[in-house]
């Protein structure tokens, strides 16, 4: 038995367990959320889930591959508009839509966003660091402008309204559970990817792109594949967003939308699979409840982000992990088998 | 005498701006050979390695590896074909553990880079552990690579190059910055790899003791040109060598 698995046995309950316990805790709350009286928290919950998926997809680029995208909203928006346009095409004269056409509309967001990511990614993966970030932003702004201006196709600034799901999914709770099911399935899928040999290729790229090439990694193609996966699932998040809000508008492709995902990633912890979901929870809940008390929401969230950046580098999960380590006290040699930077 | 030429370089040229850094270089290595390239700083040793491994593209000339033209190939395909390198300054993946470093390299060399759904901790583990043991890093498997001692980082650097069972190993100053003890240990390992696995080794080195004790063939580069080539004894006796290289050392 290798040292690695031996240590995993002894510390199995801690090894990667932060991800797991957060998933269980958060999952339980999310499943039970509609049982509490009132509907508002269900709306917030749906937003947590959809934005959580969006941020998780963005973290494939940042946390795993080490490249931050300031234009990830392009794919969220692409997915949202794909679903919206398909739904409009399927809708009958009074706006009704069947279950199958509705599902097709949602899931078409994946291939269309993937295709968009393939085209945009082809250029972005040629760059790294700030240049990667800026080029991704430029493409998102470009796409935003196209959607904004192409009135005959996208209805421009007005957006596309009346995206009513089929009858059974119109209730908030029903749509919530639908989104929960789809997103949970997607997260399991992404969880597998983030433990695969491919994810270790991404980690090698994050750590040292140059060296990766000399151990046989095709740097650009690996980056592109990851870019397409990230784009595809950002698109699915966008696809779920439209029918939830009953409308889409160009704001979904805007730079603020991308920045929101970045905030969520940094708040939760980019080195953790559930980090972005935790970040989405914090951000969305604060947004939903603080705006009741203050009109200075941007000021408030700005201050909160400042606090996170200065006092909780690596996000809240990283701080929790440090705290658990510290309270466990003594660190034997083999406890080094639970690296600090574990995902 | 030896059989196949595993590496054959013909008329290699590389120019950076006005400076010719590699000039009409002809070079070959037989399978199972252990050879050294020496030369003063700026002689073009590292450039030569960069040309061989596809990091630089040669202006002209041909590189045959295992009978196959590779001068036009990108680095990752050359690595996959079985020519790997260890860098002079350790060039590792600092936030992964030592085991993850080597295991990931092994997986990439196995062609599993685009395997999205298997579990990474179940593939290539035995091979990675074997390599770590060879490099005397078995105790440090679970250490974050960035936290290893300088000497151990250098060992990990070598371990990364051994992933995927290469046919030809290029080592750029494998003992630079090492204590005499570590130098002995590293060179003993390289000799062992060469003898036990018939791994062809080409290294650059400044330490003449290391060169003359561990290389069976020595090539002197000077300003991008091959000046002398031969057995360590021949090179040591050569007047040109003494003038331009060994002389400077004294």
Q: Give the start-to-end residue ranges of the domains of chain B.
A: 5-82+166-249, 92-150
Cα dihedral A219/A221/A227/A228 (nearest 10): -170
Assess B91–A contact: CB distance below 8 Å, yes or no: yes
pLDDT at A112: 98
Using the predicted structure, report yes or no on whether residue A16 has a pLDDT greater than 80: no
pLDDT tens, residue by residue, A23-76:
999 999 999 999 998 899 999 999 999 999 999 999 999 999 999 999 999 999
Flag if B117 and A192 touch (Cβ within 8 Å): yes
- Per CATH, is A3-337 categorized as 1.10.3470? yes
**Strands B60-65 and B168-172, how do they pair?**
unpaired
Assess A6–B contact: CB distance below 8 Å, yes or no: no
Please give, rounded to a whole number of angstroms, the shortest distance from the CA of A164 to a CA of chain B.
36
Residues of A in contact with B52 (CB under 8 A): none
Q: Distance between CA B175 and CA B208 in Å, rounded?
A: 12
Q: Distance between CA A61 and CA A52 in Å, rounded?
A: 15
Residues of B in contact with A198 (CB under 8 A): 113-116
Assess B149–A contact: CB distance below 8 Å, yes or no: no
* Radius of gyration of chain A from its Cα atoms, rounded to whole angstroms: 21
Flag if A2 and B84 touch (Cβ within 8 Å): no
Best CATH choice for the domain B5-82+166-249 from the list 3.40.50.300, 3.90.1170.30, 3.40.50.1370, 3.30.390.50: 3.40.50.300
Nearest CA in chain A to B83: A214
Q: Distance between CA B158 and CA B145 in Å, rounded?
A: 13
From the CB of residue B64, how many other CB atoms can be counted at a distance below 10 Å?
16
Listed in sequence order, the residues at least 6 apart from B86 whose beta carbon sits closer than 8 Å to its beta carbon are B157, B158, B160, B161, B169, B170, B171, B172, B174
pLDDT tens, residue by residue, B31-83:
999 999 998 888 889 999 999 999 999 999 999 999 899 999 999 999 999 99
Query: Side by side, which strands form the sheet with B60-65?
Result: B19-30, B5-16, B60-65, B68-69
User: Confidence class of residue B105 from pLDDT cuts 50, 70 and 90?
Assistant: very high
Interface pTM, i.e. ipTM? 0.92
Flag if B93 and A204 touch (Cβ within 8 Å): yes
Record the tokens describing residue B138, joined without a space: 């078995």
pLDDT at B241: 79
The DSSP call for residue A166 is: P
Highest mean predicted confidence (pLDDT) among A262-271, B176-185, B204-213: A262-271
B116, B129, B163: residue with CB nearest A2: B129
Nearest CA in chain B to A192: B117
User: Confidence class of residue B248 from pLDDT cuts 50, 70 and 90?
Assistant: low
- Give the start-to-end residue ranges of the domains of chain A: 3-337
Record the tokens describing residue B199, joined without a space: 């791994």
In B, residues 110-129, which contact A (CB 8 Å cutoff)?
Answer: 112-121, 123, 125, 129
Residues of B in contact with A218 (CB under 8 A): 74, 76, 113
């Amino acid at each position: 038995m290798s040292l690695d698995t031996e240590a995993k046995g002894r510390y199995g309950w801690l090894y990667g367990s932060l991800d797991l316990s957060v998933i269980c805790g958060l999952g339980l709350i999310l499943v039970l959320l509609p049982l509490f009286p009132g509907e508002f928290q269900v709306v917030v919950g749906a937003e947590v889930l959809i934005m959580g998926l969006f941020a998780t997809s963005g973290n494939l680029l940042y946390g795993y591959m080490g490249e931050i995208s300031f234009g990830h909203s392009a794919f969220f928006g692409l997915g949202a508009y794909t679903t919206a346009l398909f739904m409009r095409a399927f809708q009958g004269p009074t706006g009704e839509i069947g279950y199958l056409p509705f599902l097709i509309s949602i899931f078409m967001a994946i291939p269309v966003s993937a295709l968009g990511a393939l085209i945009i990614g082809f250029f972005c993966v040629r760059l790294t660091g700030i240049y990667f970030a800026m080029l991704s932003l430029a493409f998102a702004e470009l796409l935003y402008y196209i959607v904004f201006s192409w009135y005959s196709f996208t209805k421009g600034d007005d957006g596309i309204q009346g995206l009513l799901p089929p009858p059974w999914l119109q209730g908030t709770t029903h749509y919530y559970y639908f989104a929960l099911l789809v997103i949970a399935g997607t997260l399991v899928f992404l969880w597998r990817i983030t433990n695969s040999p491919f994810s270790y290729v991404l980690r090698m790229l994050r750590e040292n792109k140059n060296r990766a090439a000399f151990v046989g990694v095709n740097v650009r193609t690996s980056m592109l594949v990851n870019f397409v996966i990230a784009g595809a699932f950002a698109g699915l998040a966008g696809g779920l967003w439209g029918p939830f809000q009953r409308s889409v508008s160009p704001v979904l492709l805007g730079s603020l939308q991308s920045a929101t995902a970045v905030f969520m990633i940094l708040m939760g912890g980019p080195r953790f699979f559930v980090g972005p979901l935790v970040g989405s929870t914090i951000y969305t809940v604060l947004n939903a409840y603080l705006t009741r008390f203050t009109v200075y929401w941007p000021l408030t969230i700005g201050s909160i982000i400042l606090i996170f950046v200065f006092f909780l580098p690596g996000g809240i999960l990283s701080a929790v992990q440090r705290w658990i380590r510290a309270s466990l006290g003594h660190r034997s040699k083999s406890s080094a088998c639970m690296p600090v930077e574990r995902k | 005498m030896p059989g196949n030429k595993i590496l054959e370089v013909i008329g290699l040229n590389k120019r950076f701006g006005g400076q010719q850094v590699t000039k009409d270089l002809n070079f070959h290595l037989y399978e199972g050979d252990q050879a050294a390239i020496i030369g003063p700083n700026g002689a073009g040793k590292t450039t030569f390695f960069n040309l061989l491994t596809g990091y630089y593209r040669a202006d002209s000339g041909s590189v045959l590896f295992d009978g196959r033209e590779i001068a036009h190939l990108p680095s990752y395909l050359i690595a996959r074909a079985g020519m790997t390198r260890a860098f002079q300054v350790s060039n590792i993946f600092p936030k992964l553990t030592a085991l993850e470093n080597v295991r990931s390299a092994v997986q990439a060399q196995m062609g599993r880079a685009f395997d999205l759904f298997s579990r990474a901790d179940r593939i290539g583990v035995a091979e990675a552990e074997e390599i770590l043991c060879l490099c005397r890093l078995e105790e440090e498997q679970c250490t974050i690579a960035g936290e290893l001692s300088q000497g151990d980082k250098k060992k990990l650097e070598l371990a990364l190059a051994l992933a995927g069972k290469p046919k030809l190993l290029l080592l750029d100053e494998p003992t630079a910055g090492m204590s005499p003890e570590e130098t002995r240990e590293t060179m003993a390992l390289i000799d062992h790899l060469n003898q036990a696995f018939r791994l062809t080794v080409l290294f650059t080195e400044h330490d003449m003791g290391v060169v003359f004790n561990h290389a069976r063939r020595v090539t002197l580069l000077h300003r991008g040109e091959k000046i002398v080539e031969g057995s360590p004894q021949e090179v040591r006796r050569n007047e040109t060598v003494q003038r331009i290289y060994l002389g400077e050392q004294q």
